[in-house]
Structures are given as C-alpha cells and as structure tokens.
Amino acid sequence: MHPAPSVILFSSLSGLGFGLLAWLGIGLPAVTGWVAFVFFTLAYLLAVGGLIASMFHLGHPERALKAFTQWRSSWLSREAWASVAALLVMAAYGAGLVFFDARWWPLGVIGAALSLLTVLTTSMIYTQMKTVPRWHSLWTPANFLSLSIAGGALLAGQVTEAMVLLALAGVVQIVTWWQGDQALASSGTDMATATRLGDIGSVRAFEPPHTGSNYLLREFVYVLGRKHAAKLRIIAILLMAFVPLLLLLSPVLHHLAAALAVLSHAAGVLTARWLFFAQAEHVVGLYYGKR
C-alpha cells in the first residue's frame, strides 16, 4: 500500500494524543490549573493535528462532514463520531480542571473510554480490509491500542506504567510483524484464485493492461521500501520501545531524558507506521503478477 504521509502522521500523532487524553481522563497525572492546560494543549495539538493531517488525503475535504452519516456500516464514519465525541467530552472535563480546579471524574472516565474507542475505530478501518491480509487480523487493533496507551503513559509522565506498557507494546509490535509476514500466503488468495485459471496450469502475468502505470499500481502495489524492511523494523523497535525504556531507567537528567524518550518513541511509531503501509500487500497486485 502507498504510504501516504498524511495518513501516517494522522494515525501516529492522533494515537499519541488520544492515548494522553485517556490517561488525563482517569486522573493520571492529577493536574489542575496551568499544568493541566499545558497537558491538554499538547494532547489536543497531537489529536486534532493528526485529524487535520488526515484531511489532506481526501479528494474533496470540503465535503468531509458527510462522513458522519454512515456510522451504521462504516468504520471511518464511526471514527469521525468517536473522535468528535472524545474531543468534546474531554474539552468539558479539561475546562473543569483548568478553570474551576474541579475534577468531574465521570466525564473524565467517559472521555478516556471515548479516546481509546477512537484509536480502536482507526485501527478497525485497516483491520476490516480483507483485501490486505497483513492488516486483516486482531493484532492490528492490539498494535494500535498498545502503542497509543504506552505512548500516552510516556507523555503523561507515568514512568512505571510507561516502562511496562512500552515493553508490552514492543512485544505486540514484533508479534504483529511476525504474523503479518505469513498473512498473504495463508489468506488463500493467489494468482490461481484471482484468475481462476489455476486448474489449467501455473499462471504468470504475461502482459499488463497498459504500458504505463495507473492508480491501482500507485496506490496498492508499493514495493519501494521492502528492500530495507528488516533494517527499518530494527530501527523502529529500538526507537519505539528500547531507547525510551533505557532513558526512563536512567537516574539523572529526568526531564530531559523524558523529553528524549517521547521524541524517540514518536520517531519509532512513525517508522513502524510507515512500514505498516509500505509492507502491506493488497491482493489486487496479484492481477499484475506482483505482491
């Protein structure tokens, strides 16, 4: 799949932002006043910034409001509802903390649940794609949610929780990669089922429909990054989990170490999210003899 920068930025940054909102919602850290204002500003910049980035990949952003209509069937529509609901509820809860020094905890808990629900709906947009076997697995939501919760803990300054959750997210990431590598082969879709010519013999793409490229090849048959995939995976897992863990364990330079840990984690998540798209094989590639 084509790794569109807008979608990678959106899912990574908003994942971190909604993760932070979830922690703030359950009162960890229990901040009020100006400190709460800073935390909420950061969370909203990440979450809303991500949402705005995702608008750039639409052909007609001016019609984006129509995306709220089909929540009965479409995960993208459900994501739109969940994100707006989470942002509104958390705004009310944040206003209580910042301006009234009051923690309206039911609002916070509901907001936290809605924030995680938003991340779940984002991941379900990919998980539902039977056409991309690598994504069509429960490991996709596990991957998105574990990264969001761990990154949120890191941003929220919950050091102990962050260390456990970062390690867990790293393990989930490795399992996600491992199962994803066998997904296409075990999906049962190959050139024989695509063409139904397998009964006659082995099928080879002889000539594509056009000498030039097309939308399908550009969008679904992205093979550029696969050469370096193994190296990028190591870089991603080091930056995402290993380096932040080491930094959190270091006894000195606590604030600087935490900031570096956040930056390293974000860079690792972005790398992993780039691979999530670049490595994903869409079955339409089989019609072109590619994967």
Partner 1 sequence: MTTLPQHTDRKLGLVIDLDTCVGCHACVISCKGWNTENYGAPLSDQSAYGADPSGTFLNRVHSYEVQPEVGTAHLVHFPKSCLHCDDAPCVTVCPTGASYKRVEDGIVLVNESDCIGCGLCAWACPYGAREMDVAEGVMKKCTLCVDRIYNENLPEEDREPACVRTCPANARHFGDLADPNSAVSQLVAERGGVDLMPEQGTKPVNKYLPPRARDQLQGPEDSGEIDVLAPFLAPVDTGPKGFLGWLDRTLEKL
Residues that bind partner 1 (CB under 8 A): 1, 57-61, 63-64, 66-70, 72-77, 80, 125, 128-132, 187-189, 191, 193-197, 199-210, 212-216, 219-220, 282-284, 287-288
Q: Shortest distance, CB of residue 117 to partner 1, whole angstroms?
A: 16
Based on CB atoms, which residue is closest to partner 1, 78 or 265?
78
Based on CB atoms, which residue is closest to partner 1, 265 or 282?
282
Based on CB atoms, which residue is closest to partner 1, 208 or 225?
208
Based on CB atoms, which residue is closest to partner 1, 104 or 288?
288
With tokens 């999906």, the residue in question is 187
Quickly list DSSP for 236-278: HHIIIIIHHHHHHH-SS-HHHHHHHHHHHHHHHHHHHHHHHHH
C-alpha to C-alpha distance for 131 and 145, rounded to whole angstroms:
22
Q: Shortest distance, CB of residue 190 to partner 1, whole angstroms?
A: 10
C-alpha to C-alpha distance for 224 and 31, rounded to whole angstroms:
46
Q: Shortest distance, CB of residue 262 to partner 1, whole angstroms?
A: 30
Based on CB atoms, which residue is closest to partner 1, 196 or 228?
196
Based on CB atoms, which residue is closest to partner 1, 200 or 224?
200
Q: Shortest distance, CB of residue 141 to partner 1, whole angstroms?
A: 16
- In this structure, what are the phi and psi dihedrals at residue 161, rounded to the nearest 5 degrees? -60, -40
C-alpha to C-alpha distance for 16 and 151, rounded to whole angstroms:
6
With tokens 């050091």, the residue in question is 159
What spatial distance separates the first Cα and last Cα of the chain, rounded to whole Å?
Answer: 10
Q: Shortest distance, CB of residue 188 to partner 1, whole angstroms?
A: 5
C-alpha to C-alpha distance for 121 and 116, rounded to whole angstroms:
9
Q: Shortest distance, CB of residue 18 to partner 1, whole angstroms?
A: 19
C-alpha to C-alpha distance for 168 and 241, rounded to whole angstroms:
9
Q: Shortest distance, CB of residue 282 to partner 1, whole angstroms?
A: 7
Based on CB atoms, which residue is closest to partner 1, 69 or 250?
69
Give the DSSP letter of residue 214: -
Give the DSSP letter of residue 224: G
